[in-house]
Every structure is written in C-alpha cells, then in structure tokens.
Amino acid sequence: MTQPQLWTRDFIIVSVLNFLLVLVFYLLVVVIGLYASRELHATASQSGLVVGVFIVGAMVGRLLAGQGLDRIGRKRCMTVGLFLAILTCLLYFL
C-alpha cells in the first residue's frame, strides 16, 4: 500500500504563501507601535493600544475567515485573503 505524498506542489505553494503572510503580520506588529509613536506622536500607552487593537482585529479576522472557509470553500477563501493581504500591503505605500 502506498502512502500519499506530503511534499506535493500544492503543499509547497500553500506553505510558502502562509509563511509570507505570517511574516508580514509579525513585521507589522513589531513596526506599528514604533510608527505610531514616531510619526503620529502617540504616547507609549497609545502606541500599546494601537498594537493591541491590531492584534485583536487579527483575531477577529481569523474567526471570520473560519466562517468563510465553511461558506465559500478553502481555495476561494485563500485566494480572496491573499488578494486582500497584497492589496492592503500595497496601500501602505500611499
């Protein structure tokens, strides 16, 4: 009996995309508080609040994405999420 392969083309693509999305998220968490304090002249507590709201927003987004997985399917949800992530990252340049 042959076992299914783990390292398929689809698995590698999804793994790389997931790694890049998580990398962008964690880089934003690190930088967003510093940006708020330096560029927006926020206090330390306000910068901490910004980071906290960002993290809570990410958790709420994950809950909604879980419902979206059931409703519209995994592949379509991944495609829409990837498109939105790229779009919002490009909006940072504005």
Q: What is the pLDDT of residue 41?
A: 92
Q: Given the structure tokens 């958790």, which residue do they identify?
A: 59
3-class secondary-structure state, position 39: coil
CA distance 51 to 63: 19
Residue 24 burial (CB count, 10 A): 15
Cβ contact 68:77 at 8 Å:
yes
Q: What is the pLDDT of residues 38-90, one digit of tens each?
A: 999 999 999 999 999 988 998 898 888 888 788 888 888 888 888 988 898 88
In one letter, which amino acid is 89? Answer: C
pLDDT of residue 30: 86
CA triple 83-81-73, angle to 5 deg: 120
Cβ burial, residue 36 (10 Å; 0-12/13-18/19+): buried
